[in-house]
Structure 1
Amino acid sequence: MRRQAARVVRYVVLGALACAQGAWAQEPAQARPATPVPAAGSTVAAPAAVAIEPAEIPFASAHAASVRTPSAPTAWGGPRTGSEATLSDRVVSYRIQARLDPAKHTVDGQQQLTWRNRSDRPVGSVFLHLYLNAFEGEGSTFFTERRVLAAHGGSRGVAEVKKGEWGYIDLGNVEQDGAALKWRYVHPDGGPDTDHTVVRVDLARPVPAGGSVTLDMNFHSQLPRVIERTGYVGKFHLVGQWFPKIGVLELPGERGATEPRWNVHEFHFNSEFYADFGEYDVRMTVPRDYVVAAVGEQQGDPTPEGNELTWHFAQADVHDFAWMAAPGYKTLEGEYTGPGSPPVKVKVVYPPEYEASAKPVLKATIDSLGYFSSTLGPYPYKTVTAVVPPFNASEAGGMEYPTFFTADSFTEVKPKTLDEYILDFVTIHEFGHGYFYGLLASNEFEEPMLDEGLNEYWDDRMLRERKQRVYLTKPLWQFFGVEAPMDVFALERMFALLPRPSDPLGQNAWDRLSSADYGTVYSRTATAMHDLEERLGKDVTEKAYRQYYATWHFRHPSIADLQASIADASGKPDVVAQVFDQYVYGTARIDDRVKEIVSEEVLPLAGTTIKNGHRVELSSEQNDEAVSKQREAWKDAHPDAADGTGPFPWKTTVTVWRDGARVPQTLKVSFADGSVEAVHWDDDRRWARFVFTKPVKGTSAELDPDRKIYLDANKLDDSRTVDANHAASHRWGADFAALLQGLYAFLVTL
């Protein structure tokens, strides 16, 4: 949720090989090691009597990251114009029947999965994600990486797992047209043998090019106590990544692929998900007093079955399905109508203790529908459901699925407070994923910037449009004079680790220095895109993102596709390339500063000169006397003259220094009479010196006066004054003295 330096993480020795990786589906109690395979299997379609060894389809690279080659125009079936029979090019369908045991926190399911082979060759093996096995024990790739990455920076998902709180998914029988299939665990990223998050299923008959295969399977999911994204707390169940889910077969011209490849990474600690669009038809049986909310549209009223109810939800043109179930939850409903969208039923499902959060979440969701629809493209679905997690389930909050997300929770939400900002921001952010993760369906494994980063940026734009600022004020802060609310982009740059970025923004989710450095996918992307917007202009930027969305929604764009869309729409490919080369593909830093400003009078100089053909000498004493007389005469003539003015001109010299990457800068110099001059500095010089000769003294110099360059690692050195100003230090000194005086007075009373 970070490249090769972190690969060693996966090879940490975790213990005995008794928990070996490979197990045939028919022999779960006799798990035996299976050699990790470098590629999946496929075969040429042929009569049953002709045995043809399948050609291997390779995995995407274990270190795949930002793609630099734009996808082919026909990738993923070409742009969706709206005239097609379906919103997306549906590749897969799931029909699932699930039963929740709320006491054991388990889900037993039967699943029928139908997958279409988009490639030009037969496929003899398919690969399934068993994401829930990330939580089965400390031997998973998830936990292996957690020990290293979280130790070098704060992260969510680091709670201690106690006895009985682990989660897993057991895959049972898998059949193709009644024929039992063999499957085994594999490790596409070279992870530990004890990781069981990906399985290979060998088909009884290959899927021909353009053909489809239907697999029937059963599974048993043990939900973990909420560690990250999914699980239970008490009677509350957030059921995410709970079913066997097929990987993505990418074709040449798609996200940099030059041949067919299986994109089916292990579940890494900081990564999220990537899947094909398709259809979901899901029935969930739960206790009669439980409330269910889920991805998609509810199909009629729940059906009674003894002491249980079966809820039915369906949704097409999405790439995931999640749901929640809990007793005692309430519902608040609203509706959004907007150009190009169907009427959207908006629902907030919440526990009674967090009723104060329901209305703000509903309003922020409806506002988000309007903003994202108008700035990117119309929302195409008929529902949005937000879930407020209960007390003690914060790790279940802030998670997104198509048409369905979890928000934050507060017992009280006062206007213009930090709590109000957090609740609004989390709601807007998780809804926004419905566009960048949902509709654009970027690969969150390999290019998390396209989801977390771009979404964060667009969320901040919406908050800016709402004129919503961050209120950090607390009584102690007020004592020290910190009262003004903060700009949302100013807050982002505070967490962007700008002085020393460790990884390019376009890096994958797991090959990163630490979880804290992964966190800059959010903040540094938002900051970089803010600065790019300042260079392109607000209207041009929105035009570019509308084009990006129009071209790539219901497909799977890469970073190169984003760059191409912005470059084409803006007409400034060089500017876009510079920003992407420096920050998306590289780790450039910016740190420009005003090194020095000096303003001196240009006085007559002592020495010899030639006048009327004769050399005359002016001594220092004579020169000083003449200067004094001129000053006195000028003061008599200008009794109200301001400081910094006089009979002689002033030469102001400003030296600027560049410690990082080149970025176009504006230098503003202010003078004693209130006038200003601005010059541009946009070259590769490490330092530059600018000289201004004017009738008045220079007073200050400032780089980036309009605050357009948020990527600058240190904004405090962007300006200098000619004369020292001690007001700030005096204020802080006085405040500290008052604090001490109050402390001493308190001690005297003891």
Structure 2
Amino acid sequence: MMKRLTLFLALLMPAWAIAQTPYSPYKGRKFEQLGNDLATPNVYRTGSGAPGHAYWQQRANYKIAVTLNDDKQRIDGEETIHYFNQSPDPLTYLWLQLDQNVRNKNSDTYKIAPSKIRPKMSDASIRRIIGHDLDLGDQIVSVTDAEGNALPYTINKTMMRVDLASPLKPGEDLTFNVKWGYNVQDRITMGGRAGYEYFPDEDNYLYTICQWFPRMCVYDDVNGWQNKQFLGNGEFALTFGDYDVSITVPSDHIVSATGELQNPKEVLNDVQYQRWEEAEKSEKPIEIVTLNEVKKKAKKHAKDTKTWVFKAKNVRDFAFGSSRKFIWDAQGVNLDGHHVMAMSFYPKEAYGLYHKYSTAVIAHTLRTYSKYTIPYPYPVAQSVEAANGMEYPMICFNYGRTQKDGTYSERTKNGMISVIIHEVGHNYFPMIINSDERQWTWMDEGLNTFLEFLTEQEWDSNFPSTRGFPADIVPYMKGNPDGIVPIMTNSEQIKQFGNNAYGKAATALNILRETVMGRELFDFAFKTYAQRWAFKHPQPEDFFRTMEDASGVDLDWFWKGWFYSTDHVDISIDNVHWYKFNTKNPEIENPIRKEKHRKSRHNMTTERNKNVASEVDQRPDLRDFYNSYDAYKTTPEQKEAYQTFMANLKPENKALLKENLNFYQIDFSNVGGLVMPIILKFEFADKTFQTIRIPAEIWKKNEEQVSKVFTFKKEVTNITLDPMLETADTDIKNNYFPRQAVPSRFEIYQNSRGARGASTGQNPMQKAKKHK
């Protein structure tokens, strides 16, 4: 209801509250600088977020010869590691990662996994409780120096310490050798990133070989040796170097690996080699190894071997896939003059999807990520279909298989496109911008998922992205706080891993780009971060500081709310007060007062008494002057008083009165605790609209309640808070004035679950074929 300045009548709307209290370490201090919560700037890492003038990092080059035994599903290898101490510290020992030991039957990963007995349990659940007695894990044969002398070593679960005869001084380098082997696990039944998948109808195997060789741990200015145990969730912290790797496999296998193939003429037949050369120049995928060729050799297992040689420069890891089931297609991609080979490897089970989409998606991903970060620096990018989802430099393992008739569901198609974008995108985070995945999952998964979202939307403007849109993170953020932890949580302690490190982090960055900073400022700052830390080891504060330094926007309040707390967004419109100037003109004000009085006297009693004859109505002799007196009729005295008032009024105030403005005071409350900008859409009586954006700093003096007055010439009929759902507000029922009912729907469903990346039941393609 509209009010005059002399009146006060509020329309009060109750604030909506949640039952549990989120973790909010900055209550009352949300606009203070992060200060001591971030590491102190120094000569290695500056207060601007850039590497310091004395920044350093270690380097490790590898020469590896490995054999894959397809009969025994076993890896045996020898490696020479050339390690460079570029730190200012002498090193008396070196630490290596033995990630395969995570599958050892005595692994801490199995010991610390909580378990319960339930009335109904699957065989897989029971096996996890019983454990396994397989001979898995790294088997170290020897560790020797460059002259072949034994070096003492100690294995501590997934880590190995090699003791040096004398300290490795700053600026010195060291060469040593490791000989090892391990039995490859069944990845489909045991899970995990690496292993084999068995195809019983062909007696064939598809291998994804990763975390497969003893690798140097990172030694840096922040942690010293990063030798935190590998427990399964937290991934890897790795050192850059050059790789020269020889991979011996059955001669009918096709190998996809990190780096450039050095001997294509030796491992391909003449026709395949010709196709390989054509593919380098082609703008569309060309099959180097065709579907028919793979079908012909499916059940013919070669007994001899071939050795594939790959080299890779300045990478942090090396992985490969091997199988006689691989179809192989490739095309060239021009990235501002830099030529890249985009390649896909996939079994016939994925042909209907991968042949059409995989390599095209790789090319699109490289173009998009290069635009937002740095130009893709490597010569190769590969997608391997392995019913999986995992990333390594220049190679990733993905999913996307059709049903037996070649059809697929839309969900499978879009899921495949998403996972290829995501895993190829990991070439940037963390393969190039080399964060510590063992500690901070969000620094690679969150940043990468954000860019995946941008890439999906640029692939298809109607693409059904599942992470990135603010509304999609709402169910997680308004959930039980007992099941939520801050994004800034160690990888092994994260609850709801995907929602936290992937979804929330990506959504936060999208909101930062679209709502808080704007695209121009955000994109420049994000690109600056990528340029500063390409081929280096950034920490969280390097990202936070760079985003502020390059944009000129103070974002400490944003990092506190989105990354350090579990507060959620829920801003409520509590009260709306409508005011207009008291004009003092009796011909305007008296009718308003009269109508207000009439409404105040209108109630159930007066309504029901309308047709009841009163005593005064029946006896005119009881009536006098006041029965016909109109207290709201304008009198000459009132007119004269108004003329005097206007004569004495300042010209600027006369102008204000003539504008006939409407003043709306809106009272807000911050129910969720996470301070955010206030975005309001006003709808006017003439059906026009206006959107007003207020920065988050409006909460700086009071984080819980704030009021703001808005002035319009037109009357407001409706107000909507966050009209485009861009802040992840968890309760939109309190976002409206007047209040609006927000409908919800529910359904009855029967759950059915298939393998990862595969559709279940009949899909629309099958139905369409049936009706042709």
Q: Normalized against structure 1, the TM-score is what? A: 0.70
How far does residue 142 in structure 1 lie from its aligned partner after superposition?
2.5
- Distance in structure 1 (CA, Å) of the matches to 2:509 and 2:627: 61
> How has the CA–CA distance of structure 1 residues 498 and 214 changed in structure 2, closer, same or farther, with 3 Å as cutoff?
farther
- Show the counterpart of 1:231: 195
> Of 59, 66, 80, which residue of structure 2 is paired with 1:112?
80
- Show the counterpart of 1:147: 114
| Structure 1, unpaired ranges of 5+ | 1-64, 82-87, 152-156, 187-195, 472-484, 608-616, 627-647, 737-750
- Show the counterpart of 2:651: none
1:604-636 deviation per Cα after TM superposition (whole angstroms, max 9, x unaligned) = 4559xxxxxxxxx9999967999xxxxxxxxxx
- Distance in structure 1 (CA, Å) of the matches to 2:443 and 2:726: 23
- Show the counterpart of 1:506: 488
- Distance in structure 2 (CA, Å) of the matches to 1:211 and 1:695: 76
Q: Which amino acid aligns with 1:249?
A: Y
- Show the counterpart of 2:393: 402
How far does residue 661 in structure 1 lie from its aligned partner after superposition?
2.4
Tell me, yes or no, if the aligned pair for 1:400 and 1:406 is still in contact at 8 Å: yes
Q: Which amino acid aligns with 2:719?
A: A
- Distance in structure 1 (CA, Å) of the matches to 2:50 and 2:707: 51
How far does residue 535 in structure 1 lie from its aligned partner after superposition?
1.3
How far does residue 705 in structure 1 lie from its aligned partner after superposition?
2.4
- Show the counterpart of 2:440: 447
Identical residues among aligned pairs (%): 24
> How has the CA–CA distance of structure 1 residues 720 and 223 changed in structure 2, closer, same or farther, with 3 Å as cutoff?
farther
Correspondence 1:558 to 2:575: no
Tell me, yes or no, if the aligned pair for 1:89 and 1:278 is still in contact at 8 Å: no
- Show the counterpart of 1:47: none
What does 1:295-444 correspond to in 2, within 5 Å?
295-301=258-264, 307-339=304-336, 342-358=338-354, 359-389=356-386, 394=387, 397-411=388-402, 417-444=410-437
- Distance in structure 1 (CA, Å) of the matches to 2:470 and 2:690: 26
- Distance in structure 2 (CA, Å) of the matches to 1:262 and 1:66: 22
- Distance in structure 2 (CA, Å) of the matches to 1:589 and 1:675: 32
1:188-235 deviation per Cα after TM superposition (whole angstroms, max 9, x unaligned) = xxxxxxxx1011111233322211111112101112111111111111
> How has the CA–CA distance of structure 1 residues 621 and 91 changed in structure 2, closer, same or farther, with 3 Å as cutoff?
farther
- Show the counterpart of 2:290: none
> Of 123, 136, 143, which residue of structure 2 is paired with 1:174?
143
Greater alpha carbon shift after TM alignment, 283-292 vs 413-422:
413-422
Correspondence 1:527 to 2:514: no
Tell me, yes or no, if the aligned pair for 1:230 and 1:241 is still in contact at 8 Å: yes
> How has the CA–CA distance of structure 1 residues 286 and 685 changed in structure 2, closer, same or farther, with 3 Å as cutoff?
closer
Greater RCO (Cα-Cα under 8 Å, separation 6 or more) = 2
- Distance in structure 2 (CA, Å) of the matches to 1:564 and 1:268: 30
Tell me, yes or no, if the aligned pair for 1:464 and 1:488 is still in contact at 8 Å: no
> Of 566, 571, 584, which residue of structure 1 is paired with 2:563?
584
Correspondence 1:212 to 2:212: no
How far does residue 541 in structure 1 lie from its aligned partner after superposition?
1.1
> How has the CA–CA distance of structure 1 residues 290 and 695 changed in structure 2, closer, same or farther, with 3 Å as cutoff?
closer
Correspondence 1:721 to 2:738: yes
What does 1:557-636 correspond to in 2, within 5 Å?
557-572=538-553, 574=554, 576-595=555-574, 603-604=593-594, 605-606=596-597
1:350-384 deviation per Cα after TM superposition (whole angstroms, max 9, x unaligned) = 00111022221111100011111122111111111
Q: Which amino acid aligns with 2:678?
A: Q
> How has the CA–CA distance of structure 1 residues 664 and 415 changed in structure 2, closer, same or farther, with 3 Å as cutoff?
farther
- Distance in structure 2 (CA, Å) of the matches to 1:378 and 1:526: 22
- Show the counterpart of 1:44: none
Tell me, yes or no, if the aligned pair for 1:283 and 1:310 is still in contact at 8 Å: yes
How far does residue 665 in structure 1 lie from its aligned partner after superposition?
0.6
Q: Which amino acid aligns with 2:389?
A: G
How far does residue 288 in structure 1 lie from its aligned partner after superposition?
1.5
> How has the CA–CA distance of structure 1 residues 145 and 494 changed in structure 2, closer, same or farther, with 3 Å as cutoff?
farther
Q: Which amino acid aligns with 1:131?
A: D
Work out the number of aligned pairs and report it. 581
- Distance in structure 1 (CA, Å) of the matches to 2:38 and 2:446: 16
> How has the CA–CA distance of structure 1 residues 688 and 578 changed in structure 2, closer, same or farther, with 3 Å as cutoff?
closer
Tell me, yes or no, if the aligned pair for 2:353 and 2:413 is still in contact at 8 Å: no
> How has the CA–CA distance of structure 1 residues 656 and 352 changed in structure 2, closer, same or farther, with 3 Å as cutoff?
same
1:299-353 deviation per Cα after TM superposition (whole angstroms, max 9, x unaligned) = 113758971111111101001011111112111111111115x311111000011
Greater alpha carbon shift after TM alignment, 160-169 vs 544-553:
160-169
Q: Which amino acid aligns with 1:171?
A: I
> How has the CA–CA distance of structure 1 residues 487 and 519 changed in structure 2, closer, same or farther, with 3 Å as cutoff?
closer
Tell me, yes or no, if the aligned pair for 2:400 and 2:415 is still in contact at 8 Å: no
- Distance in structure 2 (CA, Å) of the matches to 1:487 and 1:224: 32
Tell me, yes or no, if the aligned pair for 2:733 and 2:741 is still in contact at 8 Å: no
Q: Which amino acid aligns with 1:658?
A: N
Q: Which amino acid aligns with 2:335?
A: G
> How has the CA–CA distance of structure 1 residues 314 and 620 changed in structure 2, closer, same or farther, with 3 Å as cutoff?
farther
Tell me, yes or no, if the aligned pair for 1:651 and 1:692 is still in contact at 8 Å: yes
Tell me, yes or no, if the aligned pair for 1:657 and 1:687 is still in contact at 8 Å: yes
- Show the counterpart of 2:679: 666
Q: What SS does the aligned partner of 1:361 have?
A: helix
- Distance in structure 1 (CA, Å) of the matches to 2:410 and 2:126: 28
> How has the CA–CA distance of structure 1 residues 111 and 618 changed in structure 2, closer, same or farther, with 3 Å as cutoff?
farther
Correspondence 1:202 to 2:199: no
Q: What SS does the aligned partner of 2:493 have?
A: coil
How far does residue 247 in structure 1 lie from its aligned partner after superposition?
0.9
- Distance in structure 1 (CA, Å) of the matches to 2:143 and 2:627: 104
> How has the CA–CA distance of structure 1 residues 649 and 532 changed in structure 2, closer, same or farther, with 3 Å as cutoff?
closer
How far does residue 571 in structure 1 lie from its aligned partner after superposition?
1.0
State which structure, 1 or 2, has the greater radius of gyration over its C-alpha atoms.
2
Q: What SS does the aligned partner of 2:431 have?
A: helix
Tell me, yes or no, if the aligned pair for 2:250 and 2:303 is still in contact at 8 Å: no
> How has the CA–CA distance of structure 1 residues 623 and 239 changed in structure 2, closer, same or farther, with 3 Å as cutoff?
farther
Q: What SS does the aligned partner of 1:708 have?
A: coil
Tell me, yes or no, if the aligned pair for 1:346 and 1:362 is still in contact at 8 Å: yes
- Distance in structure 2 (CA, Å) of the matches to 1:403 and 1:434: 6
How far does residue 460 in structure 1 lie from its aligned partner after superposition?
0.8
> How has the CA–CA distance of structure 1 residues 101 and 306 changed in structure 2, closer, same or farther, with 3 Å as cutoff?
closer
Q: Which amino acid aligns with 1:368?
A: T
| Structure 2, unpaired ranges of 5+ | 1-35, 119-123, 199-204, 268-301, 581-591, 599-624, 635-659, 749-772
- Show the counterpart of 1:656: 668
Tell me, yes or no, if the aligned pair for 1:347 and 1:386 is still in contact at 8 Å: yes
Q: What SS does the aligned partner of 1:439 have?
A: coil
Cα RMSD for the two superposed structures: 3.8
> How has the CA–CA distance of structure 1 residues 598 and 555 changed in structure 2, closer, same or farther, with 3 Å as cutoff?
same
Tell me, yes or no, if the aligned pair for 2:76 and 2:181 is still in contact at 8 Å: yes
How far does residue 282 in structure 1 lie from its aligned partner after superposition?
1.0
Correspondence 1:133 to 2:77: no
Tell me, yes or no, if the aligned pair for 2:58 and 2:218 is still in contact at 8 Å: no
Q: Which amino acid aligns with 2:262?
A: Q
Tell me, yes or no, if the aligned pair for 2:154 and 2:162 is still in contact at 8 Å: yes
Greater alpha carbon shift after TM alignment, 688-697 vs 544-553:
688-697
